A and B are shown apart, each in its own frame.
Chain A
Amino acid sequence: MKQGALLGGSASDRHLLEDALKHLHESEYAGTSATLASLAGALSIPLEQAGLLLEELLQTKLANPSGTSVQLTDAGRDEARRIVRAHRVYETYLARETGIRADEFHRHADAAEHRLTPEAVDALADRLGRPRYDPHGDPIPTRDGNLPPRRGVSPLEMPDGSHALVLHLEDEPASVFRAAASAGILAGSRLHILGRRNGCLRVSVENRECELPQAVASALEVEPCDPPPPMRPLSSLTKGESASIIYLSPTLGGGERRRILDLGLVPGTIIRREFDSMLGTPTAYQVRGTTIALRREQADRIFVEL
Chain B
Amino acid sequence: MSTPKDILRAAEKLRWELGPHFQDDIAAKVSGAATALAGRYVRNPSDASGPSWQRRLDLILTGRWTGLPAMALLFAIVLWITIEGANVPSGLLAELLVDKIHPWLKTLALNIGLWPWLAGLLVDGVYLSTAWVVSVMLPPMAIFFPLFTLLEDLGYLPRVAFNLDRIFQKAGAHGKQALSMTMGLGCNAAGVIATRIIDSPRERLIAIITNNFSLCNGRWPTQILMATIFVGALAPPAVSGLVAAASVFFVALLGFACALGSSWLLSHTLLKGEASSFSLELPPYRPPDVLRTLYTSLIDRTLFVLWRAIVFAAPAGAAIWLIANISLGGHSIAWWMVTVLDPPGQIMGLTGVILVAYIVAIPANEIVIPTILMLTVLLSGNANVNSPGAGILFETEGHVLHTLLTGAGWTTLTAVCLMLFSLLHNPCSTTLYTIYKETGSWRWTGLSAALPLALGAIACSAVAAAWRLLAF
Interchain CB contact under 8 A, A279 and B166? yes
Contact partner of B166 (CB less than 8 A), chosen from A102, A188, A280, is A280
Q: A17 CA to B164 CA in the complex, in Å?
A: 52
Interchain CB contact under 8 A, B63 and A294? no
Q: A256 CA to B13 CA in the complex, in Å?
A: 28
Segment of A44-52, A72-80, A156-164, A268-276 in the binding face: A268-276
Interchain CB contact under 8 A, B202 and A266? no
B112 CB to closest chain A CB (Å) equals: 60
Q: A258 CA to B283 CA in the complex, in Å?
A: 20
Annotate B244-282 by CB proximity to A: 1 below 8 A, 0 otherwise: 000000000000000000000000000111111111111
Q: Which of A232-277 contact B (CB under 8 A)?
A: 248, 250, 252, 255-264, 266-269, 272, 274-277
Interchain CB contact under 8 A, B274 and A102? yes
Also in contact, A275 and B278, with CB within 8 A (given A133-B20, A137-B20, A266-B24): no
Also in contact, A100 and B273, with CB within 8 A (given A255-B200, A274-B49): yes
Chain B hits for A289, CB < 8 A? 44, 48
Interchain CB contact under 8 A, B68 and A278? yes
B205 to chain A: closest residue by CB: A99
- Residue A290 interfacial (CB < 8 Å): yes
- Residue B330 interfacial (CB < 8 Å): no
A101 to chain B: closest residue by CB: B274
Q: A27 CA to B202 CA in the complex, in Å?
A: 37
Q: A250 CA to B24 CA in the complex, in Å?
A: 11
Interchain CB contact under 8 A, A292 and B282? yes
Contact partner of A98 (CB less than 8 A), chosen from B201, B275, B284, is B201
Q: A275 CA to B50 CA in the complex, in Å?
A: 14
Interchain CB contact under 8 A, A255 and B199? yes
Also in contact, A99 and B15, with CB within 8 A (given A282-B165, A282-B280): no
Segment of B28-36, B233-241, B338-346, B444-452 in the binding face: B28-36
- Residue A284 interfacial (CB < 8 Å): yes
Chain A hits for B202, CB < 8 A? 98-99
A255 to chain B: closest residue by CB: B199
Interchain CB contact under 8 A, A284 and B166? no
Interchain CB contact under 8 A, A261 and B23? yes
Chain B hits for A282, CB < 8 A? 162, 165-166, 175, 278, 280
B198 CB to closest chain A CB (Å) equals: 11
Contact partner of B278 (CB less than 8 A), chosen from A102, A133, A148, A294, is A294
Which of A252, A259, A282 is most buried by chain B, counting CB atoms within 10 A of its CB?
A282
- Residue A298 interfacial (CB < 8 Å): yes
Interchain CB contact under 8 A, B20 and A187? yes
Chain B hits for A187, CB < 8 A? 20
Q: A99 CA to B200 CA in the complex, in Å?
A: 7
B61 to chain A: closest residue by CB: A278
A263 to chain B: closest residue by CB: B279
A43 CB to closest chain B CB (Å) equals: 28
A282 CB to closest chain B CB (Å) equals: 5
Also in contact, A188 and B20, with CB within 8 A (given A268-B32, A278-B62): yes
Chain B hits for A268, CB < 8 A? 28, 31-32
Contact partner of A262 (CB less than 8 A), chosen from B27, B271, B276, B278, is B27
- Residue B381 interfacial (CB < 8 Å): no
Interchain CB contact under 8 A, B35 and A288? yes
Q: Which of B61-95 contact A (CB under 8 A)?
A: 62-64, 67-68
Interchain CB contact under 8 A, A266 and B28? yes
Q: A7 CA to B370 CA in the complex, in Å?
A: 64
Q: A262 CA to B169 CA in the complex, in Å?
A: 23
Interchain CB contact under 8 A, A275 and B59? yes
- Residue A115 interfacial (CB < 8 Å): no
A246 CB to closest chain B CB (Å) equals: 11
- Residue B438 interfacial (CB < 8 Å): no
Q: Which of A92-121 contact B (CB under 8 A)?
A: 97-102
Annotate A158-175 by CB proximity to B: 1 below 8 A, 0 otherwise: 000000000000000000
Interchain CB contact under 8 A, B279 and A260? yes
- Residue B291 interfacial (CB < 8 Å): no
Contact partner of A261 (CB less than 8 A), chosen from B24, B62, B273, B274, is B24
- Residue A142 interfacial (CB < 8 Å): yes
Chain B hits for A133, CB < 8 A? 19-20
Contact partner of A291 (CB less than 8 A), chosen from B13, B32, B281, is B281
- Residue A132 interfacial (CB < 8 Å): yes
Interchain CB contact under 8 A, B163 and A279? yes
Interchain CB contact under 8 A, B281 and A292? yes
B71 to chain A: closest residue by CB: A278
A131 CB to closest chain B CB (Å) equals: 8
B359 CB to closest chain A CB (Å) equals: 36
Chain B hits for A137, CB < 8 A? 20
Chain A hits for B64, CB < 8 A? 276, 278, 280
Interchain CB contact under 8 A, B165 and A295? yes
Also in contact, A275 and B62, with CB within 8 A (given A188-B21, A282-B165, A292-B281): yes
Chain A hits for B31, CB < 8 A? 264, 266, 268-269, 288
Interchain CB contact under 8 A, B23 and A142? no
Interchain CB contact under 8 A, A298 and B20? no
Q: A282 CA to B44 CA in the complex, in Å?
A: 28
- Residue B203 interfacial (CB < 8 Å): yes
Interchain CB contact under 8 A, A284 and B58? yes
Interchain CB contact under 8 A, B201 and A278? no
- Residue B167 interfacial (CB < 8 Å): yes
A102 to chain B: closest residue by CB: B274
Q: A146 CA to B274 CA in the complex, in Å?
A: 33
Annotate B194-225 by CB proximity to A: 1 below 8 A, 0 otherwise: 00000111110000000000000000000000
Q: A248 CA to B24 CA in the complex, in Å?
A: 9
Interchain CB contact under 8 A, A99 and B203? yes
Besides A137-B20, A260-B277, A278-B62, 16 new A-B residue pairs in contact (Cβ under 8 A), listed by A number: A99-B203, A100-B274, A146-B12, A187-B20, A252-B277, A267-B24, A274-B55, A277-B162, A278-B68, A278-B164, A282-B280, A291-B281, A291-B284, A292-B281, A295-B277, A298-B279
- List 17 A-B residue pairs with CB atoms under 8 Å apart, sorted by A's residue number: A99-B203, A99-B271, A99-B273, A101-B272, A133-B19, A188-B19, A188-B21, A266-B32, A268-B28, A277-B165, A278-B163, A279-B165, A282-B278, A293-B281, A295-B169, A298-B278, A298-B279
Chain B residues in the interface with A (C-beta under 8 A): 12-13, 15-16, 18-21, 23-24, 27-28, 31-32, 35, 44, 48-49, 55, 58-59, 62-64, 67-68, 158, 162-167, 169, 175, 199-203, 271-284
Query: Lowest 7 A-B CB distances belong to which pairs?
Result: A278-B67, A99-B202, A99-B273, A256-B277, A266-B28, A133-B20, A261-B27
